[in-house]
Amino acid sequence: MQITGKINSFENEGTDVETQRQGVMKEMEEKQRALAKLADSFDERTKELAKVLDQVKAGIFTMKFCYFLLRLKISLPLTDCSVYELVYMYVWQVSRNVT
């Protein structure tokens, strides 16, 4: 009788440990899903901010280019050829840190 009780107790301990393991695994899976969702939202926000940064950089370039045109006292509108020449000249000056 005593041995049967110990066997039943041991089997119940195994069942309890398995139940606890399953609970821990389920909790870890839920946390992993939540973290994956959070990471995806951060990735999306990073992409949005990169787009904004590119727009700001383009705006700064445009402002500097307009200032460059004003310094040269060039009036608009420009022909396509002259725009390309001025952009080339501007980029060349910026690369030499002259502006």
Residue range 77-87, pLDDT digits in tens: 555 556 667 77
The CA distance from 6 to 74, in Å, is 98
Residue that the structure tokens 């022909």 belong to: 79
The CA distance from 6 to 2, in Å, is 6
3 state SS of 98 = coil
The pLDDT tens digits of the residues spanning 33-90 come to: 999 999 999 999 999 999 999 888 888 887 877 777 777 766 555 555 566 677 777 7
Peptide bond into 77 cis (omega under 30): yes
Residue that the structure tokens 């004003």 belong to: 70
